[in-house]
A and B are shown apart, each in its own frame.
Chain A
Amino acid sequence: MGALGHYLEEEGIATVGISLIRPQTENTKPPRALWVPFELGRPFGPPADPGFQRRVLLAALRLLEHERGPVIIEDFPGDDPRAQPHSAWQPPVSATAAAKDARALAEGLEDGISRLEDSHRGWVEQNHRTTVGLSGLKISEAARYVAEWVRGKSPPSPREGYSAPLLMRFAVDDLKAFCLEAAAAGTARPSSRQLGDWFWEESAIGAALHALRERCLASEDERVKLIAGNFIVPAARVRITN
């Protein structure tokens, strides 16, 4: 992001950036940056908190009024209140992560997605949006496609112009978005950690994706290995296996 700021300023456009990783910003030395102490993925703070988001945006834009620079790096004086767990939130009722063999894990994934459909409909009614759609497949199709990979097969891509490993990654992203949206439906406001703990440690879908990662790491296809190693399970959630 710092490099983008540099290029745009060189072309005559003033920039101010949000910084989520202060050491990185100190290295790139952009013209102006506002460091925020929020988790990665939330540069403007908590969702559904317009007042907080406005304070972050305005604090960044105010850096443009400094007359002396570069480099300006200021710290935002406040933390994300939604980072705290919400005691009223309960994980959705879904298949649990008890299965061990590939066939059962794949069935658990498809069944788990099916069980969350009502909750996800509730999410869409509540929020008027979904971020599911990257793969271009219906969610049941995405589940079926990923389940085939979990079973140890390498199914061809059902979409022209998308390789099978790329479509597998996109379908996995859709499954994650679908589950996390479904799990957040309702009036409770879970933290991202609560949602992640449920998905990666307790849900049948998360268990299947852990297994998918392991299975794909043993692939002879370097693209599949690359995706498995880096783009299915977050680094902080990877299980160490012997």
Chain B
Amino acid sequence: MARLTDLPPAQAKRLAEAECPNFDMRPWVTGPALSRRRVAIVSSAGLFVRGEVPFRGRDADYRAIPSETQPDQLLTSHISVNFDRTGLQEDWNVVFPLDRLKELAGEGTVGSVAATHYSFMGASDPLEMEPHARQLASRLKNDRVDTVILAPV
């Protein structure tokens, strides 16, 4: 329904040229072979587990999604209405590829899957997300995660 080229020109331009923090540093973390990495998914789809607190407006914090979460427990409260949701409705792996990640770990392509995954709400201010992202890094390290796949919508 909405590739960037399908949106009204003004909306497409706003998205393409969205203001982003200007970072002076260019961090670059390397690591072991993929087969030895522990991987977490961090989504910006405003995902949350049914029964937990949804994102309201442009909340800049995140929600935790345990690895044992079942597809019927995952909801989204993303504020934007300008991306397709029918893919997620049919198959959560379109947005949150936990089944695929578990398959890659099961066959040894990836070392292991994190105990918990996370979601932000991507329309939030990146500067307001920063303290939450840095706090999330501590949680990831406590779970021995060394690699994150970032999944937007």
Contact = CB atoms under 8 A, between A and B. Distances in A.
Given A17-B150, A39-B6, A134-B54, A64 B31 contact: yes
Interface residues of A, number: 83
B115 to A, nearest CB: 15
A109 interface: no
Interface string A20-62: 1101100111110000011111111111101001101110111
Given A20-B152, A64-B147, A42 B94 contact: yes
A3 B130 CA distance: 8
A236 B2 contact: yes
Interface residues of B, number: 84
A127 interface: yes
Question: Among A128, A181, A232, A235, which residue has the most Cβ atoms of chain B within 10 A?
Answer: A235
A178 B150 CA distance: 28
A3 to B, nearest CB: 4
Interface in B95-153: 95, 97, 99-101, 103-104, 109-110, 120, 122, 126, 129-130, 133-134, 136-138, 140-141, 145-153
Contacts of A14: 29-31, 37, 146-148
Contact of B84 (A9, A12, A39, A177): A39
Contacts of B151: 1, 17-18, 43-44
Contacts of B101: 57
Given A24-B15, A24-B16, A29-B23, A5 B150 contact: yes
Interface string A58-95: 10111011010111000000000010000000000000
A168 interface: no
Contacts of B15: 21, 24
Contacts of B152: 1, 17-20, 43
A12 B33 CA distance: 16
B65 interface: no
A47 B54 CA distance: 24
Interface in B1-39: 1-4, 6-8, 11, 15-18, 20-21, 23, 25-31, 33-34, 37, 39
Contacts, number: 269
Given A14-B148, A47-B91, A166-B56, A31 B86 contact: no
Contacts of A129: 71-72, 92
B89 A235 contact: no
A45 B94 contact: yes
Contact of A53 (B31, B100, B148): B100
B122 A131 contact: no
A98 interface: no
A181 B91 CA distance: 11
Nearest to B126: A3
Contacts of A196: 1
B64 interface: no
